[in-house]
Structure 1
Amino acid sequence: MTSGLSEPPVRERAFFGHPRGLATLFGTEMWERFSYYGMRAILVLYLSAPAVRGGMGLPETTAVGVYGVYIASVYLLALAGGWLADRLLGPRRTVLYGAAVIMAGHLSMAIPLRGATVWLGLVLIALGSGLMKPNIAALVGELYRHEDDARRDSGYTIFYMGVNLGAFIGIMVVPWLQTGGRWHLAFGAAAVGMAAGLTQYVLGRRHLAGAGEEPDHRLTPEEERRFRSVLALSVAGLAAALALWAISGTLTVDRFSLALTVVTAAVPVAYFVFLFRGSHEITDEERTRLTAYVWLFAAAAIFWLVYDQAGSALLLFAKNDTDLRVFGYVIPPGWVANINSIAIVLFAPVFADLFLKAGDRITAPVKFAVGLVFVGLSFVVMYGAADLASGGAKVSVMWLLSVYVIQTIGELFLSPAGLSVTNKLAPRAFENQMMGVWYLAIAVGDSLGGQTYRMTKVVPLPVYFLALALLAVAAGLLLLLWSRRVHALMAERPVTTPV
């Protein structure tokens, strides 16, 4: 059975020296990120805005908690999306369905009502993103299945430039449309962006050269029937549990977000236990490589815990404690984070060329360690900004701009390398699922980050930023100390001297 998306082969032109299919995936992901980051740039502000200004009226700490578990759910569901691609649909169709569901979610949020349509929209966006994200990244890897690591790393870095180009445009457009309380007009713009991405994908599918047309390990008819039965029972059970919780009168937004955080943290633990203990499709060599991946997974979770506070703690700091006047014009708070997207668009080609020329001399564990140190240093700067603001005066926007530039350097070391190393270390039977596992690291970091912000109720904001800074820097230095051992577990080069 085919996906129905195949097209006759065409004569291909290069895309920045890479396969033409990279342009299709670049453009699709760019528009998806437009919708995602554009909406994210106003989500906490919308949730915490009073009802008289068209918002949901939630306390700021609750809004940040919701933001954290929503972002986490986007990445948590990527594991299920990878499994569906591996076993049922194939990556190409799964990306198509995911893009359509994301668009429906943004359309739901564009309906000018508070409450049900907003929660439904967030659920649909999370579900669609889970289908799309791991599989579009896996399709990038499929374009390089017969090529060397350095070239694949370079391709992922260019793909990552598309991510940030979309984020830049989205963060510029959506918060600007929201000015004056036009929340649902802004959410509608995100829907239009996702429609553009869906169109890009359908029109450009012929350039994918057969990548991802079929699942790598399709379920047998009996396994598929069993899966459908289990899925139906699970959905019914979850709905019944939520209904009983609501009837009990103890269901609150805060408790629900905390419960989702616990689930998010438990899922990767259970999944790694399954990979190491329960699967018979993984060889001993693949398990050794997975041991290295666990180290990198933990490092990535800490990185994202700090980094993704851009849409919560840093956004609120921009709104409450930052002088947003630039050349006499007061910019929307969400615009400040766009320095990250600008810097990545400018720096990504430089880093792609650097990593291509460096080859294996800069290993993945070293890249991860450097990324952690930089993201930690960015929060040392935030400690200084928050300490100044604690006196009551608003600080210069240059503080936040400096934070985002430092984080950009860390991100360019860690994030493209994370996509590439996941593709490289994935057991053959779990290739697309492992892209979902990479996004699980982001899910864990984001969900924990949403809950750690509650610390600001009991500790000063400068102390909060400094604590997270120390956590990230310490983790980076520890990984750097053990980098050669981790590299040896990746089965690339033996360790010649003990560390």
Structure 2
Amino acid sequence: MSATSAVSAPQKGFFGHPRGLSTLFFAELWERFSYYGMKAILAYYLYRSTAEGALGLDKSFALSLVAIYGSAVYMSGVAGGWLADRVFGGQRSVFYGGVLIMLGHIALALPIGVTGVYLGLILIVLGTGLLKPNISTVVGGLYAADDPRRDAGFTIFYMGINLGGFIAPLVCGTLGEKVDWHLGFGAAAVGMALGLVAYRFGRRNLGDSAAVPPNPLPVEDRARVLTRIAAISLGLVAVVVVLVLTGVLSGQGVIYLISAVSVVLPIGYFVVMMRSPKTTPVERSRLTAYIPLFIAAAMFWLLFEQSATVIAAFADTRLDRTFLGLEFPPSFIQSINPVMIILFAPLFALLWVKLGNRQPSTPRKFAVSLGLVGVSYVLMMIASSGDPAVRANFLWIIVMYAVMTCGELLLSPVGLSATTKLAPRAFASQTMGLWFLASAAGQGVGAIVVQFYSDENAQAYFGVLGGVAIALGVLLALGTNSIRKLMHGVN
């Protein structure tokens, strides 16, 4: 099947969408099960006491470590995008990434303490860098650029992500908190293995979508370039390890270093693509329009991704987790957002199809998204008022996640779709990696911000962050018309 036929055929084998979407839906479902299952218990495993079978690390450092791990995961998407564009192609990158992720969860499942944590997190970072940006690129390759099903297809794909995210905390959280932490991490490894099986047997449905690199390295240069990259990477890792072992750079210093890189890297990447002779004038204009969208996304993810850090800690110590006569473990809180996605995503998908060309522009959706995530933090501010010793009603967290989820559906699947449409052709997978750098930057800054949180200052913490997000949303709304002009017909 040629690339042209892959996007021009009707292909309505999966809820009116290409059959390949089902393959990617289930592969991503199980990959996200592994990711969110591990992340649901990671902070608790790091900061709870050794008497509970955990590591007993300082709580502030543990939350910061979880945040910087999330940042590193998404930064690795740039390297994964480059390897897909120049060496492997998107389809093979997804498979190789899944294997590394599975090995990372196996390392966490081994009872070898901090060593297993660092080894596991490094493997998951590398694997997610290969898988995460490229599976979205493969989804985009199933549709023609002007296919009206495109945004709806990404929304359905996003439902798969959140179905896995819903099941994961329930399974891994129960096993980790109630039985053994390492058993919870082991369940995450099983989830990734199931994702690999689903992808391997359904890959024939993907056709030529991202099957080969769009901008391959010349065969005669491949070994030299890859060897040089590997040598530089290992050298940088060795320098950091030596600095840590000699006491020059502390664990906190490593966090600050990665935080700085998370901000500098996307700036450098925008400059490279803007200056590349392979980027046409129209593509350069679209990249300019992409910058305010990127900043908005970074701010959104700074707040949203605190579900696994600050909000997880809030649920552990400041939330009354009794609901409908049942008391839930704190890890279960992280299943609320996926439930909201599963409920709301079909409604948003139907809304975009119903509105067609009359739907709001991407910048407008992003502006409303920022406003909503800001309001969700204002709700957390209200829930935090009063005596820190008095736990907040469980309904606050439900309402907060409902508002935040509506913001997520206006930004995340829409951003994935917009990125595939605004990306320069020569940088297709790498631009998807750039989209995930928005989350990396948000979580990189968040790794520093979360250190200011405590049970005593929760009200001020949530109020300030919520106010900043709302203000940025207003600015983006005011600039929508100017941004649309730079997008050259992309809505």
Which bracket does the TM-score occupy, shorter chain normalised? over 0.9
| Equivalent residues of 2:23, 2:198 under 8 A apart | yes
CA distance in 2, matches of 1:433, 1:240: 26
Match of 1:214, SS state, is: coil
CA distance in 1, matches of 2:128, 2:75: 10
Q: Which amino acid aligns with 2:139?
A: V
* 1:227 equivalenced with 2:225 (yes/no): yes
The CA deviation at 1:452 is 0.2
Q: Which amino acid aligns with 1:408?
A: T
The CA deviation at 1:329 is 2.8
* 1:343 equivalenced with 2:340 (yes/no): yes
Show the 5 A alignment for 1:474-489.
Answer: 474-489=471-486
CA distance in 2, matches of 1:236, 1:439: 23
Q: Which of 390, 393, 407 is 2:404 aligned to?
A: 407
1:168-188 deviation digits (Å, cap 9, x = unpaired): 011211111112361000000
1:402-437 deviation digits (Å, cap 9, x = unpaired): 111110100011111100000000000000111100
Match of 1:179, SS state, is: helix
* 1:455 equivalenced with 2:452 (yes/no): yes
Match of 2:25 in 1: 26
Match of 1:184 in 2: 182
Q: Which of 375, 398, 418 is 2:415 aligned to?
A: 418
The CA deviation at 1:258 is 1.2
The CA deviation at 1:321 is 0.5
Q: Which amino acid aligns with 1:81?
A: G
Q: Which of 462, 467, 470 is 1:470 aligned to?
A: 467
| Equivalent residues of 1:12, 1:207 under 8 A apart | no
Q: Which of 262, 268, 289 is 2:266 aligned to?
A: 268
CA distance in 1, matches of 2:346, 2:296: 25
Match of 2:214 in 1: 216
* 1:67 equivalenced with 2:104 (yes/no): no
The CA deviation at 1:222 is 3.6
CA distance in 2, matches of 1:88, 1:82: 10
* 1:203 equivalenced with 2:201 (yes/no): yes
The CA deviation at 1:461 is 1.6
CA distance in 2, matches of 1:485, 1:239: 43
TM-score normalised to the size of structure 1? 0.94
Match of 2:158 in 1: 160
Q: Which of 430, 441, 452 is 2:438 aligned to?
A: 441
| Equivalent residues of 1:53, 1:181 under 8 A apart | no
1:105-154 deviation digits (Å, cap 9, x = unpaired): 00110001201111100110111000000110000000003542x31101
Match of 1:107 in 2: 106
Match of 2:113, SS state, is: coil
Q: Which amino acid aligns with 1:124?
A: L
TM-score normalised to the size of structure 2? 0.95
Match of 2:6 in 1: none
Q: Which amino acid aligns with 2:331?
A: G
CA distance in 2, matches of 1:440, 1:52: 38
The CA deviation at 1:455 is 1.9
Q: Which amino acid aligns with 1:401?
A: I
CA distance in 2, matches of 1:13, 1:436: 28
1:295-323 deviation digits (Å, cap 9, x = unpaired): 10000000000111111111100000011
Q: Which amino acid aligns with 1:72?
A: S
* 1:305 equivalenced with 2:302 (yes/no): yes
Match of 2:96 in 1: 97
Match of 1:289 in 2: 286
Match of 2:5 in 1: none
Percentage identity across paired residues of the two chains? 44
Match of 1:78 in 2: 77
| Equivalent residues of 1:34, 1:166 under 8 A apart | yes
State which drifts further: 75-84 or 49-58. Answer: 49-58
CA distance in 2, matches of 1:275, 1:458: 44
The number of equivalent residue pairs is 482
CA distance in 2, matches of 1:395, 1:403: 12
CA distance in 2, matches of 1:22, 1:240: 41
| Equivalent residues of 1:419, 1:438 under 8 A apart | yes
* 1:124 equivalenced with 2:135 (yes/no): no
Q: Which amino acid aligns with 1:206?
A: R
CA distance in 1, matches of 2:34, 2:241: 31
Match of 2:128, SS state, is: helix
| Equivalent residues of 1:389, 1:395 under 8 A apart | no
CA distance in 2, matches of 1:190, 1:201: 17
* 1:353 equivalenced with 2:350 (yes/no): yes
State which drifts further: 358-367 or 235-244. Answer: 235-244
Cα distance, 1:71–1:251 mapped onto 2, change above 3 Å:
same
Cα distance, 1:124–1:12 mapped onto 2, change above 3 Å:
same
Q: Which of 246, 249, 271 is 2:247 aligned to?
A: 249
* 1:317 equivalenced with 2:314 (yes/no): yes
CA distance in 1, matches of 2:48, 2:18: 46
Cα distance, 1:313–1:428 mapped onto 2, change above 3 Å:
same
Q: Which amino acid aligns with 2:198?
A: Q
Cα distance, 1:264–1:236 mapped onto 2, change above 3 Å:
same
| Equivalent residues of 2:421, 2:490 under 8 A apart | no
CA distance in 2, matches of 1:336, 1:458: 18
Q: Which of 386, 410, 422 is 1:388 aligned to?
A: 386
The CA deviation at 1:97 is 0.2
CA distance in 2, matches of 1:247, 1:323: 42
CA distance in 1, matches of 2:452, 2:245: 30
State which drifts further: 336-345 or 314-323. Answer: 336-345
Show the 5 A alignment for 1:47-66.
Answer: 47-66=46-65
The CA deviation at 1:64 is 1.1
* 1:334 equivalenced with 2:331 (yes/no): yes
CA distance in 2, matches of 1:139, 1:101: 19
Show the 5 A alignment for 1:139-178.
Answer: 139-145=138-144, 147-148=146-147, 150-178=148-176
Match of 2:18, SS state, is: coil
Q: Which amino acid aligns with 1:144?
A: Y
| Equivalent residues of 2:101, 2:127 under 8 A apart | yes
